A and B are shown apart, each in its own frame.
Chain A
């Protein structure tokens, strides 16, 4: 998909308007529901996608996550145990050098981090990584 700048602005306005009208729509009830909404319930393969997350995060407020799915149009990331499981969607444009990204996310306790890649042929890839979040020794 090749987006021109103008189409881009249009897309952005549309989505902004949708969020304003239906603010609750940004809150999927569960990660499973959010994934189903994204994939349309299609089956996912676990080959061709890599999710790198720490086995144990030293602090859940800042956890570095790396995801890669060569050839993907988009990669969407979920944190299954967060109040709102949606984390981010990466759309790779024509100038991207790889379909990979690293970011830092928040995790409310031990949970699965899930990445789904949308491929140009309409198929989906899925990777899951369980991350334990440390529990501090001090304080109430």
Chain B
């Protein structure tokens, strides 16, 4: 199981109605591909985050299915259109069943 998985998100705190805002996320995770071998020649089992979802006030901004070709410490940048104040929720799903969450509030005026 991946240890010390720390999500970080960056989204603006304020925006105007209808503004397209840039959102960035970074999470510490080894993204073990399942292709590597350890010192004894045994395959290191795959252990990746396989899905990432960002919602705003419960509706999807982006939903990403991830394969082992995503680099260690997965990084995403994308844009959301905000019509009202609310909350971005960010969820990462690990192969091992763990779910990591973060959120960010935005005031839209």
Contact = CB atoms under 8 A, between A and B. Distances in A.
Interface of A: 2-3, 5, 8, 12, 15, 26, 61-64, 66, 79, 82-98, 100-107
Interface string B11-43: 000000000110000000000010100000000
B55 interface: yes
Contacts of B56: 95
Contacts of B92: none
B63 A104 contact: no
Interface string B39-79: 00000000000010101111111111111111111111111
Contact of A89 (B58, B64, B71): B64
Nearest to A3: B60
Contacts of B71: 61-63, 103-106
Interface in B84-99: 93
Interface residues of B, number: 35
A96 B80 contact: yes
B75 A104 contact: yes
A90 B62 CA distance: 7
Given A97-B21, A102-B78, A87 B69 contact: yes
A58 B37 CA distance: 24
22 contacts: A12-B51, A66-B77, A86-B67, A88-B67, A93-B59, A94-B59, A95-B55, A95-B57, A95-B59, A95-B60, A95-B81, A96-B60, A96-B81, A97-B20, A97-B82, A101-B62, A102-B75, A102-B77, A102-B78, A103-B71, A104-B70, A105-B71
